[in-house]
Amino acid sequence: MATAFKAFLNSPVGPKTTHFWGPVSNWGFILAGMADMNKPPELISGSMTAVMCVYSGLFMRFSWVVNPRNYFLLATHASNESVQLYQLSRYVKAQGYLEKKEPEAQQ
Amino acid sequence: MASSKLQALWNHPAGPKTIHFWAPTFKWGISIANVADFTKPTEMISYPQQVVIACTGIIWSRYSTVITPKNWNLFSVSVAMAGTGLYQLSRKIREDCFSDEKEATAASLEG
């Protein structure tokens, strides 16, 4: 246990490096998204939420292929992707984009 | 000559055929979306979201200059995020804290 923890401390993406603390700050996006989950969906910014969804998708790929591979960043962006997709679904539903259109004129 | 330089850029290991290019480049979308929201009513601004955008912008501005190699694209996008986030926060704080004072003094003057 102690050696695994030491290995983590001294890892090239560990807490002695910026590769760790940068993603830590990115957890703010997830916490902010979770704080906004219960807000009325009229207050959601559709453009910002959609941008976040693409942004986290791209960075999930980035964290996988970057050297050294950054699993922490991957987990961060996977979480943000989930939160932002949920907020986007709330926004879309509130705007009425997913409703079935009423049949126009009944012939 | 010009075309071989362009080709070198095109085929660069962190060039436009790779995620190393597009992921940081797309991060500009966050600042662009924020600028688009500058004209939105302040009731629609989210305090947690803008605080995070400003803080991550500030932190990554610092980190982008201490990693090897220095990443000026990441630096500039982080500065933009911090700037737009702080501006949105100032709009909302001004509306929430200071315009109430104006309304209160106006009401007390009338009364």
The pTM of this model reads 0.79
Average pLDDT over residues B68-78: 83
A51 contacts in chain B (CB < 8 Å): 29-30, 32-33
A36 interfaces chain B, CB cutoff of 8 Å: yes
10-residue averages of pLDDT along chain A (107 residues): 90 84 91 92 92 95 85 94 96 86 54
DSSP code string of B35-62: HHGGGS-GGG--HHHHHHHHHHHHHHHH
Is the CB of B29 less than 8 angstroms away from the CB of A36?
Answer: no
**Band of the pLDDT at B99, cuts 50, 70, 90?**
confident
Q: Which residue of B has its CA nearest to A54?
A: B26
Burial class (CB in 10 A: 0-12, 13-18, 19+), A10: exposed
Note the pLDDT tens digit of each residue in B6-40.
999 898 877 888 888 888 889 999 999 999 999 99
